[in-house]
Chains A and B, each alone.
Chain A
Amino acid sequence: MTINLHAIDCDVHPTVPGMKALLPYLDDYWRDSVEERGIGSLESISYPPNSPLTARDEWRGTGGLAGTDVTQLSETVFGRFGSSLAICNCLYGVQLVFAEDMARAFTRALNDWIVKEWLDKDARLRASIVVPLQNIEYAVDEIERCASDRRFVQVLVLAMEEAPLGRRSNWPVYAAAERHGLPLGVHAGSAYRHPVTSLGWPSYYIEDYAAQAQGFQSQLTSLIAEGVFAKFPSLKVVLMESGVTWLPGFLWRFSKFWRGLRTEVPWVDRPPDEIVRDHVRLTVQPFDVPEDSEAAERAIEHLRSDDILLFASDYPHWQFDGDEAMPKAIPRALYRKILVDNPLATYPRLKEAVR
């Protein structure tokens, strides 16, 4: 298939309408278990269904959910936003399930559901493999099971899951991802194994959502300090829905302290900000800056790289109004890179669609 590339939307969210939708993709034991136990849904409080952030009103359908319909998603993302390809990152709460075997059954069902209900229905859709980090062996098995379908272009985890992502027990997942040319996508969200702030549990949703940026920071620190990029030099990590502009200040601090503390982690043999510019990419919705163009320009300058931003609408999350999904802060001169070149350089499998 040849696609005339206008834009690649690196973060859209198909919504599982409820466990019922996954029943056909479960084996008999789990299908009966879901019914017997009355597991109706796995929605996560990372995106409470009625929160304005979770979906723009105009996209909500019956039951108030958005992103449940492939036609509507395609019309919006490809029609109104003008993209040519889009990567589906399903955030259904399989990470919240603590039992490893159940998590394995549900992630398998979820990935099969994505193939049948989304990828098979629109050739412009791609998807991330959702993995059960509850059990690393299962997570690797799931990558191996799905990776032969070239429409899977990434491995998806949440910003806050079982343990810091750099921990070496997770490394088989990165080895598998690297072997198959799949970046590791880290999306805002939590499995709620731990408080979403390092201080303890917060009281309000606003605290949870704001704390995601600190979650991303700690994950970057962990991935670099533990040596993930030294061990897996081809691995790319994509931070999705991170807010982006916290990055320069954080990198300044991290790189500064690396100078005095690098002897603890001698495999980190160059400044962390360089490692980030080589290995880490960020999607542009939301992009936390005022619309004042001077402040926006400075924020972009501070990233000190034209290669690290990837276009994303974050559909159906309500990050902007109208059809202009690119944040106003982004200068036009960078559009081509952010819309097309950077996503193609990040996701090797996307190139197969445009040969």
Chain B
Amino acid sequence: MAKHVVAAVAEITPGGRKLVDVKGRPIVVFNLGGEFFALSNRCPHRGGSLCHGKLVGLVESSTPGEYRYSRRGEIIRCPWHSWEFDIRTGKSWCDPARLRIRHYPVSVEAGAQLVEGPYVAETFPVTVEDDYVVVEI
């Protein structure tokens, strides 16, 4: 497992997302209120590009006519068939045990630390003053 610097923290604002390429793998990084999550960009159903999907909340119901809406912005819907995936876990709503998006460990590191290594800064310069999103693959 190697760590890859994929973005400056300031690049992905809360509620935002960024599609990155790590060793040829498309990965989408989400910022949920300051927490970062990195998921494979490929929908496990038919391969739709998840970073082009809509971020929605989780709707549940305990009785017909009731809509319980929570966790706004934490569910990504694939743009192709609208299947829902939990950004925090990568699990699908419709079949969580068998159908999930590959999930990668992600962390925020200070530029000062990164400059010293052993991290791989991919395509952009790292400065000591900023913080960076680091994905482990």
Contacts and interface: CB of A to CB of B under 8 A. Distances in A.
Interface of A: 168, 226-228, 230-231, 258-263, 266-267, 269, 271
A25 to B, nearest CB: 38
B64 A260 contact: no
Contact of B93 (A230, A262, A267): A262
A258 B94 contact: yes
A259 B94 contact: yes
Nearest to B99: A259
Contacts of B65: 168, 227, 267
Number of chain B interface residues as a range: 10 to 19
A22 B18 CA distance: 74
A267 B61 contact: yes
**Main secondary structure on B side of the interface with A:** loop
Contacts of A271: 94
B67 interface: yes
A168 B63 CA distance: 13
B94 A262 contact: yes
11 contacts: A168-B64, A227-B64, A227-B65, A230-B61, A258-B94, A259-B81, A263-B59, A263-B84, A266-B61, A267-B65, A269-B60
Contacts of A266: 59-61, 67-68
B67 A261 contact: no
A230 B67 contact: no
Contacts of A258: 94
Interface in B47-66: 56, 59-66
Contacts of B95: 259
Interface in B14-52: none
B83 A259 contact: yes
B82 interface: yes
Contacts of A231: 63-64
B83 A230 contact: no
A352 B61 CA distance: 37
A267 B66 contact: yes
A228 B66 CA distance: 14
A167 to B, nearest CB: 11
A266 B62 CA distance: 8
A55 B9 CA distance: 77
Interface string B91-112: 0011100000000000000000
A168 B60 CA distance: 20
Contact of B83 (A226, A260, A267, A269): A260
Nearest to B81: A260
A269 B68 CA distance: 13
A196 to B, nearest CB: 28
A221 to B, nearest CB: 15
A262 B56 CA distance: 13
Contacts of A227: 63-65
A231 B63 CA distance: 6
